[in-house]
Amino acid sequence: MRNRKILNDPVYGFINIPDGRLYEIIHHSYFQRLRRIRQLGMSYLVYPGATHTRFLHTLGSFHLTNTALSVLRDKGVNITDEESEAVLTAILLHDIGHGPFSHALEDLIVPNLRHEELSLAYMRFFNRKYNGGLDKAIEIFTGSYKHKFLHALVSSQLDADRLDYLKRDSFFTGVSEGVISTDRIIKMLNVIDDELVVDIKGIYSVEKFLVARRLMYWQVYLHKTVVSSEMLLRNIIKRARELTMKGKKLWGPPAFSYFLAKQHFDLSEEMLENFAMLDDDDMTVSLKIWQHDDDPVLSRLCSMYMQRNLFKIRLQSKPFSDAEVDMLKEQVSKIFQLAPEEASYFVVSDILTNNAYKPDSGIIKVLNKDGSTSDLADVSDMFDHEILSQTVKKYFLCFPRELA
């Protein structure tokens, strides 16, 4: 029998981790870096308790997946030990490609590469390390494995990732609207025709999950102050990269400087090694130093961040006019004595979208009492198709508080 390591999680209690390859992966430096990546990026500036990490979230997702596998096996679903370890490996590594502050800097530190692509690259790294031992895990992660329900446990509208982050983020932010019954949802899971389904008895728990997800997006993930801080941080990185590309030598950790000096990357071993050296601490210490830089744009942006003098933000249901945006840039240019192109770093306009259920990304199937299956949207008495899958849009405009 394998020995088991026990981790005490504040959300679920004790989490068991078997020794062997899974344990070795967790203790690898690439995975341990997740201890230094905040799960909710900039949300701690709004919810002071939201300092939990990707490391905790990943182990929580691992625990829920392990529980789901036990439930499905008890219901007679044939899952081999090899498949079980493969799906646990896939969920364990599903977020290893996240960079500093998680989604806040998505697609910016490594332009045009999202964290899912980086996670897959790290999985292939471990696969080489273990001589093809992660072949099946990679197939499950990418959705190419023959049993599709295993991929659904890792990535779907009702996967272990979403179940954990809603419950965990609600716990650490104190936003009670995000509380969901992960135990009941998992106990209601089953497999019919190689598809993951939810028993009709669990439909209200799933409806609560969808409502909680929508509310958490507006109250936490897309909270206007969180968006404001993310736009400020992103513009700091953009300015730092622009200056570096022009030949300016900015102080910074070597790995951070590596990414600022380039705009195009491949998934090479060198890039992965440098990315694995980056974490939230690198960003924070760099910003602390840069607030004293001689570049007026970079220093002002960093000072605003360090002093929590965040952008003022306005939200509305229609796009902001070009005239209004241009007027704000002119005011910034005049007040801060900046060139027009430099003023654009202080005025940001974009769009926020939120929808709880995306049928085009795969539906949640419900197992009816007669053994047939239906789309959740067809059997739910709380939603109809249009409301359930409706995308809500909000337009925002960020600018310095001095202009408010």
Answer for the pair 332, 346: CB distance below 8 angstroms, yes or no.
yes
Tokens in use for 332? Answer: 């910034």
Lookup result for tokens 């300016």? 248
At residue 1, the pLDDT reads 46
Helices marked H in 35-114: 54-74, 81-92
For the beta carbon of residue 350, count every other beta carbon within 10 angstroms: 12
Q: Which residues are 198's β-sheet partners?
A: 189, 366
Does the structure show a pLDDT above 50 at 254?
A: yes
Instruction: List all residues 6 or more positions away from 144 whose beta carbon is below 8 Å from its beta carbon.
Output: none
Mean pLDDT calculated for residue range 167-178? 95
Ordered by where they begin, the domains of the chain are 4-223+363-393 (1.10.3210.10), 243-352+397-403 (1.20.1250.30)
Report the distance separating Cα 170 and Cα 164, nearest Å.
10
Q: What CA–CA distance (Å, rounded) separates 300 from 318?
A: 30
- Strand ranges inside 195-284, DSSP E: 195-199
Phi, psi (rounded to 5 degrees) for 137: -65, -40
Beta strands 195-199 and 189-192 are antiparallel
Q: What is the pLDDT of residue 390?
A: 75
The overall pTM is greater than 0.85: yes
pLDDT over threshold 50, residue 392: yes
Residue scoring higher pLDDT (354 or 3):
354
pLDDT of the residue at 19: 85
What are 94's two structure tokens? Answer: 């599903």
Residue 304 has pLDDT above 70, yes or no: yes
Is residue 2 pLDDT above 70, yes or no? no
Give the DSSP per-residue string, 144-206: -SS-HHHHHHHSSTT-HHHHHHHHHHHHHHT-GGG---HHHHHHTEEEETTEEEEEGGGHHHH
Angle between helices 81-92 and 135-142 (to 10 degrees): 60
Q: Each residue of 6-65: pLDDT tens digit?
A: 999 999 999 999 889 999 999 999 999 999 999 999 999 999 999 999 999 999 999 999
User: Tokens 């308790």 map to which residue?
Assistant: 49
Mean pLDDT of 331-351: 96
- Tell me the pairing of strands 365-367 and 195-199: parallel
Length of the chain: 404
With 60 as the cut, is the pLDDT of residue 247 above it? yes
Q: What is the pLDDT of residue 387?
A: 65
- Please, what is the average pLDDT of the chain? 94
Say which residue the tokens 């730092």 belong to: 240
Contact in structure between 285 and 368 (CB atoms under 8 Å): no
pLDDT of residue 112: 87
Per-residue model confidence as pLDDT tens digits over 79-123: 999 999 999 999 999 999 999 999 999 989 999 899 999 999 999
pLDDT at 196 over 90: yes
Of residues 11, 18, 194, the one with CA closest to residue 89: 18
> Residue 383's pLDDT band (boundaries 50, 70, 90)?
low
Contacts of residue 80, Cβ cutoff 8 Å, sequence gap at least 6 = none
Q: Over the range 65-77, which residues count as b (16 or more CB within 10 Å of their CB) and which as e?
A: bbbbbebbeeeeb
Edge-to-edge strand order for the sheet containing 392-399?
A: 312-316, 392-399, 348-354
Query: Can you give the pLDDT at residue 386?
Result: 61
Whether the per-residue pLDDT at 191 is higher than 90: the answer is yes
**Amino acid in the structure at residue 19:** D
Provide CB contacts within 8 A for 249, sequence distance 6+.
none
What's residue 138's pLDDT? Answer: 98
* Burial class of residue 270, CB neighbours in 10 A (0-12, 13-18, 19+): exposed
Reply yes or no on whether the pLDDT at 275 is more than 50. yes
Query: Taking the chain, what is the end-to-end CA distance rounded to the nearest angstrom?
Result: 65
Largest CA distance in the chain: 72
